Chains A and B, each alone.
Chain A
């Protein structure tokens, strides 16, 4: 038995995928969508601010509420691993799955870097963002949309 088969046939993965409890597979999948709304929602609002929306909103406040973004990310990392185990053979060999992971990884790196440079720059904190910050914000939006698309298409390819 291969590695992916071993994961999918593990008692943990089988318990999740065969549970007929409302707190089983369906609930974990739903939590994954709640996490998506948190991490992507928080990213979208920050990116929109950098791109010129809501210019009266104090930029430094985003630093205080970054817990929403990270909570969503952690929820999705955990639920994502659990969901993977239940379908390891399919997802582990699926190009769309790795495309999704790449989109998320790059989106997080772009987001973390852009937030750090914005929070460390007095001009940005005053709402005057350099062109680079705006480019990264637009890129972040595109990457999250890409990650969502790849995630949804995993059920179809």
Chain B
């Protein structure tokens, strides 16, 4: 970790973010928040249907929105990387940041599980059709994970190591 962080600080990207932090940091934070609203808004929408809400709607009709959540994901990922490369120690020394990473990985693995094992079947579910227990669990896991990512992300400013 130590060698990796120190190497990161020498990269051109890190140097560029550090050198332009005055305008780039606030801009990245604003974009990070816009991205989280897009990502959680759209992913959470599908999660609710998987959990059994909005039952009158075919699952596929909700999932059609999902590609747009990638705009949100791209925004949070790009700005998140900018934050980390310019201040790696500030994050890697902060336990809350590791909780955030844990929930990002959990949300990602959960999404992968849905796509590979459940999505095909879910797409055939029409109006009034109940989702399976597995789909409900995946939906709830996703919603809880993303909420925890948000919670840890907001909290990590308050749990910084000195």
Contacts and interface: CB of A to CB of B under 8 A. Distances in A.
Contacts, number: 92
B109 interface: no
Given A30-B150, A37-B36, A45-B42, A57 B30 contact: no
Chain A residues touching B, majority SS: helix
B54 interface: yes
Chain B residues touching A, majority SS: helix
Nearest to B58: A56
Interface residues of A, number: 33
A41 B45 CA distance: 8
B56 A61 contact: yes
B57 A57 contact: yes
Contact of A41 (B37, B54, B158): B37
Interface stretch (B61-69, B86-94, B132-140): B61-69
Interface residues of B, number: 32
Nearest to B37: A40
Contacts of B64: 53-57
Interface in B22-80: 26, 29-30, 33-34, 36-38, 40-42, 44-45, 48, 53-54, 56-58, 60-62, 64-65, 68
B42 A41 contact: yes
